[in-house]
Amino acid sequence: MNLKAADFSPSAIEHTSKQLLHLLEKRTKRLKRVKHYAATTTCIIIFLGFSVYQLRIQKKANEIEKQQLENQIAQLKDQIPPPPKTAELSKAQSYVIAIQTKLQKINDYLGKRGLKTYSIKSIVGDKKTAAPKLSDTEVYSMYDEFLTHLVSNMAVMPMGFPRVDVQTSSFGGRSNPFDQSAGGEFHPGIDFRGKQGDPVKCTAQGQIVFAGRAGGYGNCIRIKHVNGIETVFGHLSRILVKVGQKVSVGDKIGLVGSTGRSTGTHLHYEIRKNGKAINPVKYLTLNS
């Protein structure tokens, strides 16, 4: 190749330099694009990998939850007794089963109130007491009606103890606990001994009509029941319900305390009929 002097002239060198720079710029731009594409592709791969990992974890968690639910369903199925074969049972046996079912509901209510359970012996007699001379159908009809009425009444009437403990003060007249020389006073409820923070339970289903401070009652709860009946709980250290809330037998509504006009930690419990205080002792047991 023969090079001429013109090829090494300043203008030629400048032209060649421009071409080289232009070429380098193109290659640099291409390299930047390749790096950008590579970085983007890497990010996408990482994101997809993380998504797959999360999906696997979620799938495993779902499988564990499904297995737990299946185990719970299996346990519940085991607890369900097989349906009785009606054709193989006598009418008398069917009557007894129906009565026992309702007695179980009664016993549940009694247990929540801290009362003794109800025995079928008190209804149909035992070996020492002669049973009435009635047909199976008549016996069933009579006691089925009685038990149905009893179940419905026990759910809505305040019965039993708001807390099972020693009664420290009775209903009616008593001396002033703050000043013995001040004469007597009327005590509209009964008091139960308790420790600070002991649970206080509802004695019948109803609706909260008051929950807050009430003068000498301190922290107080009033529950409205059927037939103009209300229950009142006083001197609580804490209230666990709100006005308008519906409550049922055995629900924990507050904690024992000594707020308001109180000489020590205890629970004050009242039952009111149409606004008038009545002796709660009559409602503590079935035999009162």
Per-residue pLDDT reduced to its tens digit, 194-232: 999 999 999 989 999 999 999 999 999 999 998 899 999
Q: Does residue 245 belong to any structural domain of this protein? A: yes
Distances 147 to 64, 66, 150, 248 between C-alpha atoms, Å: 46, 42, 5, 20
Let me know: does 232 contact 217? Beta carbons within 8 Å.
yes
CATH number of the domain that residue 213 is part of? 2.70.70.10
CA nearest neighbour of 121 among 148, 153, 96, 93: 96
Report how many domains make up the chain.
3
pLDDT (0 to 100) of residue 55: 80
pLDDT in tens, 32-69: 777 777 778 888 888 788 778 888 887 787 777 777 77
Q: Are residues 270 and 182 in the same domain?
A: yes
Q: Exposed, middle or buried: residue 158 (CB in 10 Å: 0-12, 13-18, 19+)?
A: buried
DSSP annotation of 249: T
**Which residue has better confidence, 212 or 125?**
212
What is Dmax (Cα atoms) for the chain?
Answer: 144
Q: Does residue 1 belong to any structural domain of this protein? A: no
Q: Are residues 34 and 126 in the same domain?
A: no
CA nearest neighbour of 43 among 33, 55, 35, 32: 35
Q: What is the spatial distance between Cα 221 and Cα 241, in angstroms, rounded to a whole number?
A: 8
Q: How many helices (H) and strands (E) does the chain have?
A: 4, 13
pLDDT (0 to 100) of residue 208: 97
